[in-house]
Structure 1
Amino acid sequence: MVGKHYFVYILASRKYGALYIGVTGNLVSRAYLHREGLADGHSRRYHIRKLVYFESFLEPGLAIQREKQLKKWRRAWKIELIETTNPEWRDLYPEIAGN
């Protein structure tokens, strides 16, 4: 049996634009909500819709711990992290959603 996964994700309004960091147990659903502007708050207010980075965890506590860690990071470190796996800042949503 495959265990449940938890995700820490980073969304961006555009390359080097506004960023949003979150944690979820359903990355496809959560990314869709942000993408369509259905998630209230910071991401909707600043049009932060592109999924540009994510990490997967088997334990929710580890995902939450990582989210808190990333939120404390300097902006330059977050940008460097994104660019290690996604230097073009492509929207990863189509890949995870199977589109």
Structure 2
Amino acid sequence: MLKCFDSTYYTGVTNDIETRLSQYQSGKFPESYTHKRRPVKLVFFCEFNDITQTILFEKQVKGWSRK
């Protein structure tokens, strides 16, 4: 989970968190949610061995309140 400069949050799935964070920080993906909200800060992450469980957890997180 990334906290964006404007205090919004972004969640996603990756198999290489360091590379993906670097890509978001550098603005590599101009179409991404985070592009205009940089810099971003990694505030939470979990590791999973099963992609299905990863996606289910991501959906759960997206339902959380900001609180």
Please indicate, yes or no, whether the TM-score normalized by the shorter chain is above 0.5: yes
Where structure 2 has 5 or more consecutive residues not aligned to the other structure, the ranges are: none
Q: CA deviation at 1:48?
A: 4.9
Which of 58, 71, 94 in structure 1 is aligned with 2:62?
71
TM-score (norm 2): 0.83
Aligned length: 66
Q: How does 1:17-96 map to 2 (within 5 A)?
A: 17-39=7-29, 40-76=31-67
**Percent of pairs identical after alignment?**
29
**TM-score, normalised by the number of residues in structure 1:** 0.59
Pick the aligned partner of 2:3 from 5, 12, 15.
Answer: 12
Runs (5+) with no aligned partner, structure 1: 1-9, 77-99
The one-letter amino acid of 1:62's match is Q
Opposite residue 59 of structure 1, the aligned amino acid is D
**Structure of higher CA gyration radius:** 1
Amino acid at match of 1:55: C
Report the aligned-residue RMSD: 1.7
Q: By percentage of residues, which structure has more helix?
A: 1
User: Which ranges of 4 or more aligned residues in structure 1 deviate by more than 2 Å?
Assistant: none
The one-letter amino acid of 2:59's match is K
